[in-house]
Homo-oligomer: A and B are copies of this chain.
Amino acid sequence: MRRPRVVILGVGFGGMSAAKELEREDVDVVVIDKNNHHTFLPLLYQVATSGLNPADVAYPARGLFRRRRRVRFRQGTVIGVDWQDKRVLLAGEDPLPFDHLIVGIGAQANYFGVPGAAEHTFPLYSMSDALQVRNHLLSLFEAAAAREDLIHAGVLNIVVVGGGPTGIEIAGAIAELIDEVLEADFHDLDVHTARVILVEQGPTLLPPFEPALRDYAAGELRRKGVEVRLETAVKEVGEDYVLLGEAGDYIPTRMVIWGAGNRASDLASAIGVAQSRGGRIATNPDCSIPGKPDAYAVGDVAAIPDGNGGELPGLAQVAIQSGRHAAHQVLRTIEGKPRTVLRYHDKGTMATIGRTAAVAQLNNGTTLTGYPAWVAWLGLHLVYLVGMRNRVSVTLNWGWSYLTWDRGPRLILETPRINPPRRDGPYIPPPERVAGKGQQTQEVRPTT
Contacts and interface: CB of A to CB of B under 8 A. Distances in A.
Given A187-B72, A416-B128, A250 B146 contact: no
A154 interface: yes
Interface stretch (A5-13, A57-65, A333-341): A57-65
A292 interface: no
A184 interface: yes
Contact of A447 (B138, B239, B423): B239
Interface string A27-58: 00000000111000000000000000111001
A406 interface: yes
Contacts of A60: 185, 410-411
A93 to B, nearest CB: 5
A261 to B, nearest CB: 21
Nearest to A143: B422
A153 B396 CA distance: 44
B442 A58 contact: no
Contacts of A254: 420
Contacts of A305: none
A410 B59 CA distance: 9
Interface string A110-131: 0000000000000000011001
Contact of A419 (B93, B136, B447): B136
Contact of A184 (B66, B132, B147, B448): B66
A85 interface: no
Contacts of A153: 442, 444
B66 A185 contact: yes
B62 A186 contact: yes
Report which residue of A36, A148, A430 has the largest number of chain B beta carbons within 10 angstroms of its beta carbon.
A36
Contacts of A143: 422-423
Contact of A389 (B62, B241, B400, B447): B400
Contact of A142 (B94, B149, B422): B422
Size range of the chain A interface in the assembly: 35 or more
Contacts of A35: 412
B411 A414 contact: no
Contacts of A444: 152-154, 252
A139 B419 contact: yes
Contact of A149 (B58, B150, B188, B442): B442
Interface in A75-107: 75-76, 90, 92-94
A373 to B, nearest CB: 27
Contacts of A437: none
A63 B58 CA distance: 26
Given A60-B411, A136-B419, A419-B136, A238 B55 contact: no
A308 interface: no
A393 interface: yes
A262 to B, nearest CB: 19
A139 B74 CA distance: 11
A1 interface: no
B440 A139 contact: no
Contacts of A231: none
A409 interface: yes
A142 B389 contact: no
Contacts of A266: none
A145 interface: yes
23 contacts: A36-B142, A37-B411, A53-B55, A55-B409, A65-B187, A69-B187, A74-B146, A92-B147, A127-B413, A131-B413, A132-B415, A132-B419, A136-B420, A139-B422, A140-B422, A143-B423, A148-B440, A149-B430, A149-B440, A153-B442, A389-B400, A390-B408, A392-B396
Given A75-B139, A413-B415, A414-B418, 11 more contacts: A53-B53, A53-B55, A54-B411, A74-B145, A75-B142, A75-B146, A93-B147, A136-B419, A142-B422, A152-B440, A393-B393
